[in-house]
Amino acid sequence: MPVLTEPASSFINGAWIESAGDITYRFNPAAPSEAVTAYRQAGSEDLAKAIQAATVAAPAWDRLGILARGRVLSTAAQMIRERAEEIARTMTAEHGKTLAESRLEVDASADTFDYHAGSARNPVGADYPSSHPDERIVTVRRPLGIVGVITPWNFPLQIPAWKIAPALLHGNTVVWKSASNTPGVSVLLMDILAKAGLPAGVANLLLGPGSLGSELVSHPKVAGVTFTGSVPVGHQIRALVCGRGAKLQMELGGHNATLVLPDADPELAASSAVNAAMGSTGQKCTATRRIILVGDGHEEFLTKLREKVAALSVGPGTDPSVQIGPVVSASARDEITSAIGQALSEGAQIIAQAAVPDSDGCYVPPTVLTGPASLTICHEEVFGPVVTVLRASTLDDAIALANSTDFGLTAAVFTSDERAVRKCVTYLDAGLVKVNAPSTGSELHAPFGGMKDSTFAGPREQNSAAAAAFFTHEKTAYLRLAPEKA
């Protein structure tokens, strides 16, 4: 069943516009013959119109003031909650994730808008002492101008919320190039933002191909770019954006390790590892890709891991009994299946696997492999429900093994040993380290970002102070009194 009955269009300068591009269809990954959404491809002319609209709208949006902008975000949060079921069902139809996961994402996205709305009342600068008695030194923040936002399909509402809400709060205007796989969710969010009170031109949505994203980040009027996606695309964006002196924020891929020490609680470690590796069909940058068993004595953990994976229910995300939905597309399914096949040819073994429906849906069996650390799959990110179990003799060896990839997004460690915890927090190459908890999941008020190829060296996402640092320029003003008149 289609979730949008008419082809969607891009949103520019306060109106849904008829792009000249072809109509592109999005199919249900649980039933690939079923078209669920369609949209008209935007092109270079549409991008130019969006940039112009954002340019014209910027001064008035800035002058409105941060408290008034915060109220718009608060209204948007309320409207997201009012339309939560509509958004969740659209998300499941386009993405494939279970309805339970979609509903959680919608709720978290509303919380994100509320959080940034509330941060409108945070201090906006600092006051420093001066060596001159009649002078104050203060910092003020000013918007960047136009922010280019490029978001992926795996969290089609939450990641845009992380980026768009603080960009708007701090007085920027936005041109958003959303993911081609989830146009319906993007349209619903843009509709909510418009109805929440955004003036025309303040936020603009482009539905189009990846090449349009390259044009967006290259545009000289785009003062900042925030991007989440793959490492290769991120490197291309870095060259384009940094080469012209604009600000850049990126969150890229991950190859995250979970370390299980001998004293770990087997039930907690196994359930958390399955959740982190297989949840959302493994289509998370923060998903666990490697489980590293430290030392001896992990038989109970492995038994529980096998049992939990084999018991996973895989099927359509609309089925309330299903725990794992399909992957996003047939091409994604084929890439993941090929990676598993390559691992087996390199000497890996399957030690646990769940059953999948006998259908043409884009299903990949949740799979646990074991083998040497030299396996290609232990170094290259495979974006699906696949995890490899490795072994290390000591904690130092485990940390070195965990750090032996180009990525550095998240890591997890399961132990009751406080010394081991401190060593892991200090020496694991990961921007987020979880202790006795899954490598996935984060709090929206805490800074989020990685290290190495998983990020770009700059202000993090989510946290309000980090968002302010990225989405504004900081200026310092020396306010000296004029001499008193006689």
Q: Are strands 203-206 and 173-177 parallel, antiparallel or unpaired?
A: parallel
Closest of 356, 345, 371 to residue 291, by C-alpha: 371
* Residue 285 falls in the annotated catalytic set: yes
Identify the bridge partners of residue 213 per DSSP, sorted by sequence position.
Answer: none
CA distance 317 to 321: 9
CA distance 98 to 280: 8
Residue 276 CA, distance from chain mean position? 15
- Per DSSP, helices labelled H in 96-149 are 99-118
Closest of 442, 332, 344, 334 to residue 383, by C-alpha: 332
Closest of 231, 251, 253, 264 to residue 398, by C-alpha: 264
* DSSP H/E element including 63: helix 44-64
Identify the bridge partners of residue 236 per DSSP, sorted by sequence position.
Answer: none
User: In 280-431, at which residue ranges do the beta strands (DSSP E only) sit?
Assistant: 288-294, 349-353, 367-370, 386-392, 410-414
CA distance 272 to 303: 14
Which residue in 242, 285, 362, 424 is the catalytic one? Answer: 285
Catalytic residue list: 285
